């Protein structure tokens, strides 16, 4: 795959950059700008070489409503990247023609265009017609076969962004880990993470499964899980997984009332919301011995305020990294935890991907990577 430094002279060239600016917005303000900041080196690289930079991204719908991406333009300007905003897609052509070398434009939310999610060829051609070169700096959505990810590269010279290239090289280290190799997977969506759990249970020394993921395995073992969250297809989990000696589960949990209980002694009225203190002690023992650590997903219902065990886990892995362990972390709530602690730079590699990270580690590639690999 060609990389951005291979791009050659781009002064005056129109460069379409697919970024992932799907960031949380409250009262018209971006509340977490991490993904925006990580894309800045690619934007600056193109800007400094005199390219006309056209940024495109999506923002997820909220209660069925597609929000404007305008607050992201404000955020970019506050971060020191001067950017114009084009609200109507139909105005993009005229606005781009007015651009001077080194200027930057952000187009309105891609999800407002029907052809994006459908990977409509006509829409992909429309996007491609805006520029001379395409750059994918949206690793975190490159597991989606959308027009801006896999359609546009068919029609333009294409390259991965600087962070995108780092994602591939950083995550690929998981395929050749030093041992002891510890994997910690939390959060929910067991069906999504099952392929990775199965794959890594063959290569890792220990795969600790926590968060809501653990509830499915507790149920498979015959434990009472009460009203705890489980996967819709949880009954289809193979029994061999829970019998695998490399799979480790929380030994104690916290219920909704704040009580600590052994994982195998819950009542039918209990709801598991977080990991217990003994589980953290066991995790620390495993982390202290590990030379390679992969972590994705929280230990509790992070978005509802059950944070402390996850924050403590982040601290433990950061400390292990300081003493020489190699650590790779990723996932939305995982990133939120390390940002809250301001320890982003305490890990060997931090991935912007959630689902994309999981799929890449399970399959070794993504639709967005395959699109860039094609001539």
- Can you say which residues are annotated as belonging to the binding site? 20-22, 35, 111, 144, 193, 303, 331-334
Give the Cα separation of 44 and 75 in Å (integer). 15
Give the Cα separation of 329 and 347 in Å (integer). 7
At how many degrees (to 10) do helices 308-322 and 332-341 cross?
A: 70
Extract the annotated binding site for substrate.
20-22, 35, 111, 144
Give the Cα separation of 106 and 261 in Å (integer). 51
Q: In what helix (H) or strand (E) does residue 339 lie, and over which residues does it extend? A: helix 332-341
Half-sphere exposure for 266 (CA within 13 Å, toward CB):
30
Residues, the chain, total?
375
Give the Cα separation of 153 and 354 in Å (integer). 23
Extract the annotated binding site for ATP.
193, 303, 331-334
Classify residue 65 by its DSSP letter: B
Cβ-based burial of 315 (10 A; exposed 0-12, middle 13-18, buried ≥19): middle
Which neighbouring-strand residues pair with 272? 255
Residue 172 neighbours by CB under 8 Å, 6+ apart = none
Contact between 313 and 295 under an 8 Å Cβ cutoff? The reply is yes
Residue found under tokens 């434009």? 105
Residue 324 neighbours by CB under 8 Å, 6+ apart = 291
Contact between 211 and 297 under an 8 Å Cβ cutoff? The reply is yes
């Amino acid at each position: 795959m060609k990389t951005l430094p291979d791009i050659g002279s781009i002064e005056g060239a129109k460069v379409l950059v697919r970024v992932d600016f799907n960031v949380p917005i409250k009262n018209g303000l971006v509340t977490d700008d991490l993904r925006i900041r990580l894309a800045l080196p690619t934007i600056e690289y193109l800007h400094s070489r005199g390219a006309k930079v056209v940024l495109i991204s999506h923002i997820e719908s909220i209660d069925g409503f597609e929000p404007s991406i305008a607050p992201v333009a404000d955020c970019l300007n506050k971060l020191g990247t001067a950017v114009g905003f084009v609200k109507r897609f139909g105005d993009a052509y005229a606005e781009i023609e007015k651009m001077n070398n080194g200027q930057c434009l952000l187009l309105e939310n891609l999800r407002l265009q029907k052809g994006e999610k459908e990977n409509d060829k006509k829409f992909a051609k429309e996007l491609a017609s805006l520029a001379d070169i395409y750059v994918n700096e949206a690793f975190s959505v490159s597991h989606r076969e959308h027009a801006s990810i896999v359609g546009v590269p068919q029609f333009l010279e294409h390259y991965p962004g600087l962070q995108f290239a780092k994602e591939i090289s950083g995550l690929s280290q998981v395929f050749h880990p030093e041992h002891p190799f510890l994997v910690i997977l939390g959060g929910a969506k067991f069906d999504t993470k099952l392929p990775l759990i199965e794959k890594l249970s063959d290569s890792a020394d220990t795969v600790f499964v926590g968060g809501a993921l653990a509830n499915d395995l507790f149920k498979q073992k015959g434990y009472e899980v009460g009203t705890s969250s489980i996967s819709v297809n949880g009954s289809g989990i193979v029994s061999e997984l829970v019998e695998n000696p490399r799979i480790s589960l929380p030994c104690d949990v916290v219920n909704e009332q704040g009580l600590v209980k052994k994982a195998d002694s819950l009542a039918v009225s209990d709801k598991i919301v977080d990991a217990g203190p003994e589980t953290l002690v066991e995790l620390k023992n495993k982390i202290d011995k590990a030379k390679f650590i992969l972590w994705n997903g929280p230990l509790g219902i992070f978005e509802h305020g059950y944070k402390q065990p996850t924050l403590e886990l982040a601290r433990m892995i950061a400390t292990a990294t300081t003493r020489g362990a190699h650590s790779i972390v990723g996932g939305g709530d995982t990133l939120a935890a390390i940002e809250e602690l301001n320890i982003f730079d305490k890990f060997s590699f931090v991935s912007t991907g959630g689902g994309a990270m999981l799929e890449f580690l399970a399959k070794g590639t993504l639709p967005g990577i395959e699109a860039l690999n094609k001539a």
